[in-house]
Chain A
Amino acid sequence: MSSRILRVNMTEGTVKYEDTPEKYRPMGGRWLSSSIVCDEVDPLCHPLGPYNKVVLAPGIVTGTAAPTSARVSVGGKSPLTGTIKETNAGSKFPPQVAGLGIKAIVVEGKPKEEGKFWTLEVNKDGSKLVPTPSNWIGKGLYETVPLLYKEYGDRVGLMAIGVGGEMKMVNAGVCFNDLENRPSRYSGRGGMGAVLGSKGLKFIVVDDTGAPGVEIANKELFEVGRKKLTDALMTHAITKPKGALNTYGTAVLINIINEAGGLPTRNFSSGTFEGATKIAGEAIFEGNKKRLGKELYNHACSPGCIIRCSNTWHKPDGSEHTSCIEYESDWALGANCGIDDLDVIAELNQLCNDYGVDTIEAGGTLAVAMEGGVAKFGDGKKAIELMREIGKGTPLGRILGSGASLTGRVFGVARVPSVKGQNMPAYEPRAIKGIGVTYATSTMGADHTAGYTIAPEILSVGGKADPLSTEKKGELSRNFQAATAFIDSSGHCLFIAFAILDIASGFQGMVEECNGVLGTGWTGDDVTKIGLDILKMERRFNEAAGFTKAHDRLPEFMKYEKLPPHNTVFDVPDDALDSVYKF
């Protein structure tokens, strides 16, 4: 059975399966979503108009026994940044799509009738668009998604947009269901939920019962690769069972980045937060232990994940409050707003999931609003009220639901920590300059997952002879961004990088898995080249959309405002930033 692309035309209300064109056959994830977007979307289109598209592409090995690989890339032109966007999530949804032999779902066009919403049903018999029942619209996802499971069964993989997406707010994300069917996994960044909202697509329900499964060209090679990668993940201190991620989740970073002086606090005005220990991974583990009477280790968000880093936070009565409190959400809704209360952070997190908005941007928005005087830093009660405005769609809610940059403009705030319109995540670039280089140069806007750059080689520290030329530094940064672009295409969670960038056999294993599935013969160098090609094409899209090197810069205030405790500014020279993409 050869793979197919499922095209969903929201203007006509039709669905169509096409054989996958030859050039797309080795692709998956970000490689495929960015390729289709670059081939089919006009970089100058209006992101909420009829010519933008949303591509949902599972990864190359998604749907196989490859560990920690149940991920989908969502791509299109972002209404938040105006750049190309790829945002991905782990869920039950991607392996089911892949198991049905679908390489990508492409959602295009725009219904003539506004305000009507549709559900796409996908199963072994085909696909069809049905009107979404009206009592599933205009309400929180925690209320409507149980109704959907009653109708379709608990097995299904689900994609959803919340009221944020229905109202086309540009901070709306794309929601996917986790292993326990919570609407809690997000392709959050860049407002792709608003694009789906503009196209009237509210839900995609996929059921792979009776599906053929993913075809594997060379089963022996795949198995060799799978075993190498599994071994690497099971032995590395970060990814192994009861390692850092399984015990404390990504929130383990709160105390660590705080001690590094890089935890952005109160809208990026300091690198340390006095309340950090109250909201860190340790505090979550301990708080749950007290409230549940037992130790709670983290769980997998998606089928086949062996890292299991997702947590839950429980109320004093032991009932679940939210899943999950990631480092980024914990920081954005916590330290960045000056909030040190996990119960408040959990409520804000739960509201973001309910309304379908990105927690990183939402926290950044609240912080900018606080700086603009809409609330005081640290006022958790007021933060929750403001978040509820988003759900209600009031004018203030619509402003806040449109992200930090817009909110900053409305309230006259000059200190907005964004690049290309997307707010920075949980690492202060003045303290951790290598991440600043990624924020500035990534094709996605300020993004911490689009690529890793190496700080030591990028920067020379005063007094020491700099062993690397500017060109060499750019090349190193670029190769790391390329490696992560490939991981995003494989279908693996980016967290495998922690293990495979240390354990070479793990990296080899990932490449062998891909070769096993596809029948290709890629080497490590080929994989880097693929990653570089992805970056090149994304960059070309952005250039055609009007972006220049002037946009590859950090906000002005970070160049002159010294950040405590290091008391540094972002002083990486412009030509070092420009050298990242000189190839």
Chain B
Amino acid sequence: MYGKLRRFAPTQDPAGDSVVYVPANKDDTISEVLLRLGVPLKEVGSNIFLNWQYSGLNRGVQKGDRLAVFPDDMQLLYKWYFRKIDAEKSGQ
């Protein structure tokens, strides 16, 4: 967790790692995990990285995944370079 979202982690030092361990349920998506933690989605920017990949809120998560979440005042400056991976739509 980064920026103002560090408050959802046990340690909040802005120069350190604010890490929360979250048990993963079956079929969890990123947004469901965040909601369970009590993170208001409107404070989350579009900068979410799942296992080092730029991701959308509907992407599925599994046990062992690393989820990095940045707040809305920490924007990815060169977003055109990053392909956002979101949930696969069914039927495609």
A interface with B by C-beta (< 8 Å): 237-238, 242-245, 247-248, 250, 252-253, 255-256, 259-261, 271-272, 277-278, 280-283, 285-287, 427, 431-432, 434-435, 452-456, 459, 461, 480, 498, 501, 565-566
What are 14 of the A-B contact pairs (CB < 8 Å)? A244-B74, A252-B75, A256-B49, A256-B76, A260-B53, A278-B16, A283-B14, A285-B14, A434-B80, A434-B81, A435-B78, A453-B81, A454-B81, A459-B83
Q: Which residues of the partner chain A approach B80 to less than 8 Å between Cβ atoms?
A: 434, 452-455, 480, 501
B31-49 vs A, CB cutoff 8 Å, 1 = contact: the mask equals 0000000000000010101
Query: B78–A277 contact, CB under 8 A?
Result: no
- Within B1-50, which residues are at the interface with A (CB < 8 Å)? 2-3, 13-17, 45, 47, 49
Query: B15–A250 contact, CB under 8 A?
Result: no
Kindly list 11 other residue pairs between chains A and B, CB separation below 8 angstroms, not including A244-B73, A452-B80, A454-B80: A248-B74, A250-B77, A256-B49, A277-B14, A277-B16, A282-B3, A283-B14, A283-B15, A431-B52, A480-B80, A498-B77
**Which residue of the partner chain B has the closest CB to A242?**
B73
Query: B81–A432 contact, CB under 8 A?
Result: yes
Query: B15–A282 contact, CB under 8 A?
Result: yes
Q: Which of the listed residues A243, A252, A281, A461 has the most CB atoms from chain B within 10 Å of its own CB?
A: A252
Q: Which residues of the partner chain A approach B49 to less than 8 Å between Cβ atoms?
A: 256, 259-260
Query: B52–A237 contact, CB under 8 A?
Result: no
Query: A260–B54 contact, CB under 8 A?
Result: yes
CA distance in complex: A259, B54 (Å): 9
Query: B82–A432 contact, CB under 8 A?
Result: yes
**Which residue of the partner chain B has the closest CB to A246?**
B73
Q: A455 and B45 in contact (CB under 8 A), knowing A237-B73, A247-B73? A: no
Q: Which of the listed residues B2, B13, B70, B77 has the most CB atoms from chain A within 10 Å of its own CB?
A: B77
Q: Which residues of the partner chain B approach A456 to less than 8 Å between Cβ atoms?
A: 83
Query: In the assembled complex, how far is the CB of residue A484 from the closest CB belonging to chain B, in whole angstroms?
Result: 11
Q: Is B68 engaged at the interface, CB distance under 8 Å to the other chain?
A: yes
Query: B17–A277 contact, CB under 8 A?
Result: yes
**Pick from B16, B75, B77, B81: contact of A455, CB under 8 Å:** B81
Query: B82–A238 contact, CB under 8 A?
Result: no
Query: In the assembled complex, how far is the CB of residue B70 from the closest CB belonging to chain A, in whole angstroms?
Result: 6
